[in-house]
Amino acid sequence: MNYSETDQMGFVYHANYLVWMDMARTEHLRERGATYKALEQQGTFLTVTDVRIRYRLAARYDDMIRVRCWVRDLASRRVIFGYAIERAATDELLATGETSLIALNHGHTLSRIPEHVRELLEPTADPVRL
């Protein structure tokens, strides 16, 4: 990680974990054949409604970080993603997290996640205890 992501003590600033989770979720969707851009062009906006992070160990300046992302739960209008943030060199679990997203349409009212997207988002058992 970059020096700019740390505080004066050399620890990663806590809000950066949210950025990493967002990046992992974006890549998770992309790897399965969906992108936020394409979804929005089709009229579906996935909006975060809830975030939970449990910090376990501090990430420090110059650590190589791995963020794993998976779908924990999927419904017609909501998807819940799980995250494991690890120190890549040692596999130490630094943080776990979860985000809940709902689908909105162009009018910003509740909508359904398109069926073709739901088919790409297969829920998976949690690989770590959240």
Catalytic residue (one of 7, 50, 73, 126): 7
Within a domain: residue 102? yes
Average pLDDT score, the chain: 95
pLDDT tens per residue across span 65-86: 999 999 999 999 999 999 999 9
Residue 75 domain boundaries = 3-118
Within a domain: residue 124? no
Q: How many CA atoms lie within 13 A of 51 on its CB side?
A: 13
Within a domain: residue 128? no
Within a domain: residue 129? no
* Domain total of the chain: 1
Let me know if 91 is a catalytic residue. no
Q: Which of 44, 59, 66, 51 is nearest to 120 (CA)?
A: 44
Q: Which of 126, 19, 15 is nearest to 81 (CA)?
A: 126
Query: What CATH number has the domain bearing residue 55?
Result: 3.10.129.10
Within a domain: residue 18? yes
Within a domain: residue 60? yes
> What's the whole-model pTM score?
0.93
pLDDT of residue 73: 98
